[in-house]
Amino acid sequence: MNLVTEIACAKLCVDRPSCRSLFYEDGKCFLTDANITDRAQLAPRDNVKHYGKVSVTRIAAEGCSVRGFVYHPRGNICYRNRTTTRHTWHMASKVCKADGGALMKVDTEEKHKFMVTYGESTQLSLWIGGKGKVNWIWFDGTPIVKFYWQQSGKDGWPANCCLSYRWSDGQYRWDDANCNSPRGFFCEVPVKR
């Protein structure tokens, strides 16, 4: 498999739970389920780099930190916490864009769990990158296919709504909210490849 960077190779290992280490040589990435800790176990070639799981996570994180974002391996995301400033959904979206990212796209169970863990400790209402009324879409125009609504479901605002997380009835789930309500938010950028 040809890869441009070691960061992309590390991301592949992070994404695969069974991966214990990787070898990187001249743009080629080789993942292994073996936990090789002794360099003597490797073929004696100077241009082959070997990384264990801890180093792999560190390399994947480098793609975030250079841009001021933080890497979170559980969701395999680069995010910036913007919960101390409160903006409308549209202004929050502009702030994230100025940072080189977008409002968080909670399109995986891992990202949802990341947000729930944060929300259970803070109970803050936070914008994420979806909007709509009947047909819900992410900021990039892709349809939302997995929903994490409150037990009570959507509130049914009369106009277009924007997605947020909200603490209600002992749970931190999605809420359709008036886009003009000021809230905190999370920005994200793709993990650098």
Shared domain for 41 and 96, answered yes or no, is no
Residue 134: its pLDDT value, please?
77
Report the CATH number at residue 185.
3.10.100.10
37-90, pLDDT tens digit by residue?
444 444 444 555 656 655 655 666 666 765 667 877 766 678 888 888 899 999
- Helix/strand number for the chain, H first, E second: 4, 11
Domain boundary among 49, 64, 79: 64
Three-state DSSP class for 74? coil
| Residue 143 vs residues 9, 68, 74, 137: alpha-carbon distances, Å | 29, 29, 24, 4
pLDDT value at 193 more than 60: no
Token pair recorded at residue 169: 């009835």
Do 126 and 74 reside in the same domain of the chain? yes
**Residue 1 within any structural domain of the chain:** no
Look at residue 27 and tell me if it is in a domain: yes
In 3D space, the residue among 122, 118, 119, 140 whose CA is nearest the CA of residue 131 turns out to be: 140
So what's the pLDDT on residue 3?
47
Residue 37 lies in a domain: yes
pLDDT at 61: 65
Determine which of 19-23, 108-112, 161-165 has the lowest per-residue pLDDT on average: 19-23
Angle, alpha carbons 166-96-131 (nearest 5°): 50
pTM: 0.68
Higher-confidence residue of 140 and 154: namely 140
In this predicted structure, the answer to whether residue 150 has a pLDDT above a threshold of 50 is: yes
Same domain? For 144 and 59 the reply is: no
Same domain, 79 and 53: no
Whether residues 43 and 117 fall in one domain = no
Give me 156's structure tokens: 């049914």
b/e map of 120-152 (b: 16 or more CB within 10 Å)?
Answer: eeeebbbbbbbbbeeebebbeeeebeeebebee
**Per-residue pLDDT, 18:** 74
Q: What is the mean pLDDT of residues 6-35?
A: 72
Give yes or no: residues 139 and 178 share one domain. yes
Cβ atoms of 7 and 60 closer than 8 Å: yes
Show the domain range for 22. 6-64
Q: Tell me the mean pLDDT in the region 144-155.
A: 75
